[in-house]
Amino acid sequence: MNPYTRKKRIVWLSLGWLVGVALLLPTLAPCDATVRIHLSKQAKVDAETITLGNVADILGPDPQQTDAMGGIELGRSPLPGQSAWVHPGQVASALKQHGWAQDQYAITGSGPVKVVRSYAAISPERIRSAVVEFIERHAPWDADQMKIRPILYKQSHQLPPGDVALQVTAPKHTDWLGAVPFKVNLLVDGHLVQRTSVPAYIEVWQDVVLTAKPLGRNQPITSGDIQTQKMNLARVPAKAVVRSDQAIGKRANRSIAVNSILRTDQIEDPLMVRKGDIVQVLAESQALRIATQAVAKENGALGDNIQVMNLQSKKNIFAQVVDAQTVKVDF
């Protein structure tokens, strides 16, 4: 290689080295920077926002200055249990917005920083237990007649760290039978953070009165006409008769098939007074008692107010049935 070629090669190598150094200069820290910001590889946060102090160690001659720099917000934190990334460019942009010039600080560390949000884990078992406890304390049933089917809720929840409490509520106007959707509020330090719905199925077993034989219309009901059987009230009509003494002595007001659940709207008190019967009308007070005869203008059971006609005055009045021969009027 001749001397001219060798010299030319040296010049080109020198130029290439200078260009490489120039390309690297923007990433190097200024030598006269007063504050050093060293980015961590990973950081944890508890608050709603990420600050520079969360993701970097800040070193400088003025503690108040470095504390103020550490409080600079870089963006919103991820959701509890999730992560996000903070890049050096975000840090530089935030510093610029707060009046920091590039020659006043140096960012070291390769970045980006993985930021993980701390959380408190709420297991599905804890939520299920809270719902069962709420039902046992508030349901209007005795413990020995109530059965709560296993709750199948399987969702876990990630909440911000703090004092976690569960608040369970029942639907308005619930009858606490069958499938009931309960609302569960998840609170941290007294503040509502999440809410969820937990379905539960409540069985209540109670004696129910059934017909032991077919009943005809107006047929008086005796102990031999009915039977009792324990049944899940969720599958029983709301007006079901649940005690034998509620039916014995009354009469069916319609035809009822055998093995039917007896309802209160299917039975009534037997008639004591029938239309056309002659009855005694009583009107009495502490000082006076008046009695006269009247004819019933309509049928009536014990306690019914029926219309009767005074046989002397021929006037119609309303009176309460006392027994099969007597009605009473207010005096």
226: confidence class by pLDDT, cuts 50, 70, 90: very high
Question: In CATH, what number is assigned to the domain containing residue 313?
Answer: 2.30.30.760
Question: In CATH, what number is assigned to the domain containing residue 213?
Answer: 3.90.1210.10
Based on the domain organization, do 59 and 102 belong to the same domain? yes
Based on the domain organization, do 249 and 322 belong to the same domain? no
pLDDT digits (tens, 9 = 90+) for 33-76: 589 999 999 999 988 999 999 999 999 999 999 999 999 999 99
> What pLDDT is recorded for position 33?
59
pLDDT digits (tens, 9 = 90+) for 229-283: 999 998 899 899 999 999 999 999 999 999 999 999 999 988 889 999 999 999 9
End of a domain among 199, 217, 233? 199
Based on the domain organization, do 243 and 277 belong to the same domain? no
Based on the domain organization, do 36 and 82 belong to the same domain? yes
| 3-state helix/strand/coil string of the chain | CCHHHHHHHHHHHHHHHHHHHHHHHHHCCCCCCCEEEEECCEEEECCCEEEHHHHEEEECCCHHHHHHHHCCEEEECCCCCCEEEECHHHHHHHHHHCCCCHHHEEEECCCCEEEEECCEEECHHHHHHHHHHHHHHHCCCCHHHEEECCCCCCCCEEECCCCEEEEEECCCCCCCCEEEEEEEEEEECCEEEEEEEEEEEEEEEEEEEEECCCECCCCECCHHHEEEEEEEHHHCCCCECCCHHHCCCCEECCCECCCCECEHHHEECCEEECCCCEEEEEEECCCCEEEEEEEECCCEECCCEEEEEECCCCCEEEEEECCCCEEECCC
Based on the domain organization, do 36 and 108 belong to the same domain? yes
> What pLDDT is recorded for position 31?
38
Q: Is the per-residue pLDDT at 26 higher than 60?
A: no
Question: In CATH, what number is assigned to the domain containing residue 75?
Answer: 2.60.480.10
Query: Total structural domains in the chain?
Result: 5
End of a domain among 117, 150, 176? 117
pTM, whole model, 2 decimals? 0.60
Q: 245: domain range?
A: 205-268
Based on the domain organization, do 224 and 297 belong to the same domain? no
Based on the domain organization, do 231 and 297 belong to the same domain? no
Based on the domain organization, do 246 and 293 belong to the same domain? no
Based on the domain organization, do 101 and 87 belong to the same domain? yes
End of a domain among 117, 149, 176? 117
